[in-house]
């Protein structure tokens, strides 16, 4: 009987790396996480705890908590991440402290990475293990004598890596739980039939609806969260948007998620309904105030701050937060903009590359 800890990388105001419609912070917490948590519950001899998802362990360690205060009763700590580089970089790896050699659990985890995504080129000669001494949590745990590894599951910047990972997410999670604990779980992974236990809740994805780019879809009123885990604002429910992009997710009850124009967010198939009739009406906030004179209402691409201002949290479209979570920047700072979000009244906000929001007010920002 041993107790283990799983940590999801990044978090709080740090989204980690992004690519192919995903970001590290949300992928590990909301795409992989539910599968890991499901299999952790099936363990009989061992157990896995999960580090508080609302926290970023790295920040916590910097503040003297996190890795410094993790109980020594944990047999191991496994931190999940996705790697980022150019789009051709591929494969995953397991990082352990240079002061030790990889144990059988590290090697088993690396085998799971290899089976579903393959190994990154630099670790092919070391069984998928990368030995390092320049990471904070890794060094703190090494000094405290607690076994720790950081798992880079795949390159978030590589489309094929992410497709392989997402397609097999349930099997990856099950085999990770087995590799971390050394305990074999019974039963099959989502998608396969289990004739011996027909009443077992099935994780088979039921909604295989796939809309195409350009299709008009309505967000159902029963929808609660975006594919990435953030709550869906009430003004989005019942509104019609155009599908901008499609990705395979095998998440909750849906096989696909769709990037919707206007809100620039991913929504699961189960929360959408096709708008029939081919009407060309889009959600242009008709009947609402026209903000285009004082605000950028379409993506300006790149802007410069005219006055010092701060960034707001990615979901704080109504500026409810008191502090400027993404930091305060002087006049002249340049931001790359990846999209626009609007409040329920249609007031636009700029989405910066990190996902944090910036004012779209022309008195504060200027297109460059």
Overall residue count recorded for the chain in this entry: 368
DSSP per residue, 297-317: -S--SEEEESS-EE-B-TT-T
Quick one: 23 or 24, whose CB is closer to Zn ion? 24
DSSP per residue, 99-143: TS---HHHHHHHHHHHHHT-B-GGGGGGTTEEEES--HHHHHHHH
Binding of Zn ion by 348 (CB under 5 A): no
Binding of Zn ion by 128 (CB under 5 A): no
CA 217 to chain centre: 24
Least distance from Zn ion to the Cβ atom of residue 17, Å: 6
Least distance from Zn ion to the Cβ atom of residue 85, Å: 12
- Buried b / exposed e over 84-95, threshold 16 CB at 10 Å, is beeeebbbbbbb
**From CA 155, how far away is CA 144, in angstroms rounded?**
30
Per CB under 5 A, the list member of 6, 7, 9, 117 interacting with Zn ion is 9
Binding of Zn ion by 16 (CB under 5 A): yes
Least distance from Zn ion to the Cβ atom of residue 343, Å: 31
Q: Which two tokens stand for residue 204?
A: 């088979």
Quick one: 7 or 263, whose CB is closer to Zn ion? 7
Least distance from Zn ion to the Cβ atom of residue 28, Å: 9
- Kindly state the helix (H) or strand (E) to which residue 170 belongs, with its residue range: helix 169-181
Per CB under 5 A, the list member of 25, 29, 81, 312 interacting with Zn ion is 81
**From CA 86, how far away is CA 122, in angstroms rounded?**
15
Binding of Zn ion by 29 (CB under 5 A): no
Q: Which stretch binds Zn ion (CB under 5 A): 73-81, 137-145, 166-174, 250-258?
A: 73-81
Quick one: 28 or 242, whose CB is closer to Zn ion? 28
Q: Residue number with the shortest CB distance to Zn ion?
A: 81
Binding of Zn ion by 18 (CB under 5 A): no
Binding of Zn ion by 19 (CB under 5 A): no
**From CA 96, how far away is CA 139, in angstroms rounded?**
10
Q: Which stretch binds Zn ion (CB under 5 A): 18-26, 179-187, 196-204, 233-241?
A: 18-26
Which residues in this chain contact Zn ion in the complex, by CB under 5 A?
9, 16, 24, 81
């Amino acid at each position: 009987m041993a107790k283990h800890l799983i940590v999801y990388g990044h978090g709080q105001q740090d989204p980690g790396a992004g690519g192919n419609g995903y970001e590290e912070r949300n992928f590990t917490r909301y795409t992989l996480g539910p599968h890991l948590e499901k299999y952790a519950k099936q363990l009989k001899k061992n157990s896995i705890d999960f580090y508080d998802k609302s926290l970023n362990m790295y920040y916590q360690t910097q503040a003297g908590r996190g890795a410094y205060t993790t109980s020594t009763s944990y047999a191991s700590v496994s931190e999940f991440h996705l790697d980022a580089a150019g789009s051709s970089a591929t494969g995953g790896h397991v990082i352990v402290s240079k002061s030790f050699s990889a144990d059988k659990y590290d090697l088993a985890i690396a085998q799971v990475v290899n089976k579903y995504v393959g190994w990154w080129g630099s670790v092919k000669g070391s069984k998928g293990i990368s030995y390092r001494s320049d990471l904070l949590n890794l060094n703190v745990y090494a000094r405290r004598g607690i076994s720790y590894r950081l798992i880079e599951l795949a390159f978030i910047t590589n489309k094929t890596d992410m497709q392989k990972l997402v397609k097999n997410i349930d099997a990856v999670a099950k085999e990770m739980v087995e590799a971390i604990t050394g305990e074999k779980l019974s039963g099959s992974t989502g998608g396969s039939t289990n004739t011996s236990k027909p009443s077992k809740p099935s994780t088979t994805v039921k909604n295989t609806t796939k809309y195409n780019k350009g299709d008009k879809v309505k967000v159902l009123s029963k929808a609660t969260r975006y594919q990435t885990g953030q709550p869906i604002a009430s003004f989005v429910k019942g509104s019609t948007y155009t599908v901008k992009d499609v990705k395979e997710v095998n998440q909750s009850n849906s096989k696909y998620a769709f990037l919707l124009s206007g809100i620039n967010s991913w929504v699961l198939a189960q929360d959408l309904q096709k708008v029939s009739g081919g009407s060309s009406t889009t959600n242009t906030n008709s009947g609402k105030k026209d903000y285009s004179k004082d605000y950028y209402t379409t993506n300006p691409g790149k802007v410069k701050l005219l006055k010092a201002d701060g960034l707001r949290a990615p979901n704080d479209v109504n500026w409810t937060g008191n502090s400027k979570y993404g930091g305060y920047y002087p006049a002249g700072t340049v931001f790359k903009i990846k999209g626009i979000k609007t409040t329920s009244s249609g007031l636009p906000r700029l989405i910066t590359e990190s996902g944090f929001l910036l004012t779209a007010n022309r008195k504060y920002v200027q297109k460059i």
